[in-house]
């Protein structure tokens, strides 16, 4: 009986192992049947951007897309939304290519994290990336500094700030190591708010490609290996059809109203529209516009990080202004409601929940306060003027009105008042043509008294 020599057995196992590895790589490097899909994310990163990315990844999987290109231009975003997008990218079934474009765009704060998370990162000329310091820590250049040290870095002033800073640094460094990008600069972007131009980012290994157009991006990315959650894949993008995915009207509206300034203005329009409807029942238009604006504002607030103190002040301000609408006086309730409403707007959003300034802009607050004050004073002025004016319609309009006797018999007769004939009574006899004043109205009969006419 013949036995195989150990060298032959080893060679067979090596051959089979290489064959299996080759087959696995071939399966992963197969050419996808679908197109390259493109989505465009502009503005602050929020719930709408997360939903847009998740829908795009689901469609990319269903259509066996060759890659998903995320064209980005953002000043930052909500921390929760940014982490949700990064989680979606890390588990993406297709390669995600993040492209900071067009020229003039930026990937600041949250955009830096997304660039580090993407399987392949690219920038257009004239763009920049960085400034990833958590906004709640303040501006690094003015922070106290630790003497000595490698770079004389700013030192957070308390434990909470150190915790937030170290967490952000560790998160970005872990993404850098995962994608093989510059981890040292990632730390500088968080600790020192460092920024880079597109050319500098490519030179320092922060992003892989510099591309001014989508065809150039796909050409440069073709043939590059990327690591997905399921293993390595080679990008096969040359001559691939390209489709831009429309986020849809709902996501566009949500992205627009999720801006704190727009949400606040919608809330203001909604409240005043409803108040005007209370002040002038039956006009309908202010109520309809106000109702729509109020519901849109509530939809925006549902996806923004709000503080309960701000909400409470807003509700108090609304209640006081509504009370002023029903009980118009000298304006104390209205002015108090206005002050509470503006204070509520200032404290409405939680600045620590985003890496950009998540507050209603001061010019918007000042403009809202001015408009509210003018409207309030205008309404109060009209109400006080109406109180001083004599009643011009109804039964009360006849009280004190003057007229002349048309016919009279005893203590009853007929008089002409405001161009109309009325049955009248008096406590004395009157003569036709005599001038009288209305004292009281009893149904269709007027109680009158004579007026002494001055000699002409």
Spatial distance between the Cα atoms of 379 and 90, rounded to a whole number of angstroms: 57
Catalytically annotated residue among 163, 252, 302, 429: 163
Q: Measured between alpha carbons, how far is residue 142 from residues 167, 186, 429 in Å?
A: 21, 20, 94
In the chain, the percentage of residues whose pLDDT exceeds 90 is 42
Please give the structure tokens belonging to residue 90: 């890390």
Checking if the pLDDT of 145 tops 50, the result is no
Buried-state track 44-74, b at ≥16 Cβ within 10 A, e below 16: bbbbbbbbbbeebbebbeeeebbbbbbbbbb
Could you tell me if 240 and 285 lie in one domain? no
Checking if the pLDDT of 89 tops 90, the result is yes
163 is catalytic: yes
- The residue among 67, 75, 74, 122 whose CA lies nearest residue 95 is 67
Domain count, the chain: 3
Could you tell me if 327 and 355 lie in one domain? yes
Between these two residues, 172 and 321, which has the higher pLDDT value? 172
Rounded to a whole number of angstroms, the CA Rg of the chain reads 37
Question: Among 87-101, 327-341, 385-399, where is mean pLDDT lowest?
Answer: 385-399
State the CB neighbour count (10 A cutoff) for residue 235: 23
In the chain, the percentage of residues whose pLDDT exceeds 70 is 79
Phi first, then psi, for residue 13 (nearest 5°) are: -65, -40
Residue that is last in its domain, among 340, 366, 388: 388
Q: Does 8 map to a domain?
A: no
Give 324-377 pLDDT, tens digit per residue: 766 756 567 877 887 888 888 888 888 766 766 677 888 888 888 777 767 766
pLDDT at 137: 43
pLDDT at 311: 82
pLDDT at 272: 80
State the CB neighbour count (10 A cutoff) for residue 176: 21
Q: What is the CATH number of the domain that holds 413?
A: 2.40.50.140
- Cβ distance 54 to 94 under 8 Å? no
Sign of the C-alpha dihedral computed for residues 83, 84, 85 and 88 taken in this order? positive
Could you tell me if 238 and 117 lie in one domain? yes
pLDDT at 448: 93
Could you tell me if 368 and 415 lie in one domain? no
3-state secondary structure at position 415: strand
109 is catalytic: yes
Could you tell me if 276 and 315 lie in one domain? yes
Checking if the pLDDT of 141 tops 60, the result is no
Q: Does 19 map to a domain?
A: no
Could you tell me if 292 and 382 lie in one domain? yes
Could you tell me if 437 and 310 lie in one domain? no
Checking if the pLDDT of 214 tops 50, the result is yes
3-state secondary structure at position 187: helix
- The residue among 143, 228, 158 whose CA lies nearest residue 190 is 143
Q: What is the CATH number of the domain that holds 128?
A: 3.90.226.10
pLDDT at 388: 54
Give 30-76 pLDDT, tens digit per residue: 567 789 999 999 988 999 999 999 999 999 999 999 999 999 999 98
User: What mean pLDDT, rounded, does the chain reach?
Assistant: 82
Long-range CB contacts for residues 242-245, cutoff 8 Å, separation at least 24: 242/35, 242/36, 242/37, 242/38, 242/214, 242/218, 243/35, 243/36, 243/37, 243/38, 244/37, 244/38, 244/39, 244/40, 245/37, 245/38, 245/39, 245/55, 245/56, 245/59
- Cβ distance 407 to 432 under 8 Å? yes
Domain containing residue 96: 30-142+159-250
Give 242-271 pLDDT, tens digit per residue: 999 999 998 888 888 888 889 888 988 888
pLDDT at 25: 47
Strands (E), 309-373: none
């Amino acid at each position: 009986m013949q036995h195989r020599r150990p060298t032959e057995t080893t060679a067979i196992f090596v051959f089979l192992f290489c064959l299996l590895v080759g087959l696995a790589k071939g399966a992963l490097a197969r050419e996808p049947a679908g197109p390259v899909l493109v989505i465009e994310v502009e503005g602050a990163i929020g719930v709408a951007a997360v939903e847009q990315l998740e829908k795009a990844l689901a469609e990319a999987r269903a259509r066996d897309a060759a890659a998903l290109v995320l064209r980005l231009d953002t000043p930052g975003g909500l921390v929760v939304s940014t982490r949700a997008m990064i989680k979606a990218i890390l588990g993406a079934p297709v390669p995600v290519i993040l492209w900071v474009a067009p020229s003039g765009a930026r990937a600041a704060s949250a955009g830096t994290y997304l660039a580090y998370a993407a399987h392949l990162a690219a920038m257009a000329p004239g763009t920049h990336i960085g400034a990833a310091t958590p906004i709640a820590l303040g501006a690094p250049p003015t922070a106290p500094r630790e003497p000595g040290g490698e770079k004389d870095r700013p030192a957070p002033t308390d434990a909470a700030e150190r915790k937030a800073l170290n967490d952000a640094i560790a998160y970005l460094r872990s993404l850098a190591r995962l994608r093989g990008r510059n981890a040292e600069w990632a730390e500088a972007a968080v600790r020192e708010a460092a920024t880079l131009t597109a050319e500098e980012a490519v030179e320092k290994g922060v992003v892989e490609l510099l591309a001014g157009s989508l065809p150039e991006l796909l050409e440069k990315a073709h043939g590059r290996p990327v690591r997905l959650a399921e293993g390595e894949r080679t990008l096969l993008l040359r001559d691939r059809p390209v489709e831009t995915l429309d986020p849809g009207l709902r996501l566009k509206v949500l992205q627009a109203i999720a801006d704190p300034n727009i949400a606040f203005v919608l809330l203001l329009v909604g409240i005043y529209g409803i108040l005007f409807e209370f002040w002038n029942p039956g006009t309908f238009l202010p109520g309809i516009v106000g109702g729509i604006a109020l519901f849109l504002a509530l939809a925006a607030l549902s996806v923004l990080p709000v503080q309960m103190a701000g909400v409470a002040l807003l509700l108090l301000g609304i209640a006081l202004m509504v009370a002023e609408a029903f009980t118009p006086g000298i304006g104390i309730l209205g002015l108090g409601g206005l002050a509470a409403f503006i204070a509520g707007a200032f404290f409405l959003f939680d600045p620590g929940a985003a890496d950009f300034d998540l507050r209603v802009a001061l010019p918007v607050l000042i403009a809202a306060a001015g408009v509210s004050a003018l409207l309030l004073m205008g309404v109060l002025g009209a109400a006080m003027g109406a109180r001083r004016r004599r009643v011009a319609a109804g039964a009360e309009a006849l009280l004190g009105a003057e007229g002349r006797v048309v016919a009279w018999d005893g203590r009853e007769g007929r008089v002409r008042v405001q161009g109309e004939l009325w049955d009248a009574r008096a406590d004395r006899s009157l003569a036709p043509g005599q001038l009288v004043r209305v004292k009281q109205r009893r149904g269709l009969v007027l109680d009158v008294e004579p007026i002494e006419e001055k000699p002409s």
